[in-house]
Amino acid sequence: MEERLLGARFRYINQQLYTSSSRDAARLFQSDPEAFEIYHRGFARQVGRWPENPVHRIIRCLRRRPASLVVADFGCGDCKIASSIKNKVHCFDLVPLSPLVTVCDMAKVPLAAESVDVAVFCLALMGTNLQEILEEANRVLKPGIRLISLAAQKFISDIANDALQHCKMKGTASGSSRNKSKDKKYTLTMEDLTPALAEYGINVKKPHYFT
């Protein structure tokens, strides 16, 4: 019974996070610290049922990159990424589950402009002010640098699908000129994502990123 009640509260909190702004989410957890613990426990239980934890995919990706790259982890949770790689990682979240966490609103992180090489959102793009959050990531990223996002919500799926269609129509997707089979693989660059993001009201000021 207790597990079912905790599961129900996790689902309620999760719904609140998707239907409120990052500022409202910060106020929610400040007024009810237990809510974040319940959310994190429920989230961990949910991820444990998946074939692979998305965080592990990001860790593998970053380990293939130079250790000199500076990373910003938006919605870092227990800082698994920071504790698993050699890079300097700025960890941001609404509640400090680890001493490494800087507590802040994801739409206003305490970093200088163009100060990080990689921005990570691992299942952390939620809320009604996604435009502000993505603009903040755009602000802190150096030109020509990577943004990694693993997201579950339909909003991001729609953007990716729109960008893929743009990529296919343009005929310049990565691998499209080399792979003549029907099963082509496409790499979505920020050049491809920028027009799709614009359709959702998100204007990228520094589009020369790589994926």
Where are the alpha helices (H) located in the chain, listed in sequence order? 2-19, 22-31, 33-47, 54-63, 130-140, 154-170, 190-199
DSSP codes of every residue in 44-65: HHHHTTSSS-HHHHHHHHHHTS
Question: Coil, helix or strand for 139?
Answer: helix
What is the pLDDT confidence band of residue 100, given thresholds at 50, 70 and 90?
very high
Is residue 87 very low, low, confident or very high in pLDDT (cuts 50, 70, 90)?
very high
Q: Closest by alpha carbon to 125, among 89, 156, 81, 94? A: 156
Reported as a single tens digit per residue, the pLDDT across 29-69 is: 888 888 888 888 888 888 888 888 889 989 998 999 999 99
How far is the C-alpha of 160 from the C-alpha of 25, rounded, in Å?
26
Answer whether 123's CB lies under 8 Å from 149's CB: no
Give me the residues paired with residue 93 across strands.
103
* 108-161: pLDDT as tens digits: 999 999 999 999 988 888 888 888 998 899 899 988 766 666 654 444 445 555
Helix 33-47, helix 22-31: angle, nearest 10: 110
| pLDDT at site 197 | 57
Q: Per-residue pLDDT averaged across 173-201, rounded?
A: 49
Q: Distance between CA 129 and CA 201 in Å, rounded?
A: 11
Q: Say which residues have a Cβ less than 8 Å from residue 32's Cβ, sequence separation at least 6.
A: none
For the question of whether the overall pTM of this predicted structure is more than 0.95, the answer is: no
> Could you state, in order of their start, the residue ranges of all structural domains in the chain?
2-152, 153-211
Length of the chain: 211
CATH 1.10.10.10 applies to domain 2-152: no
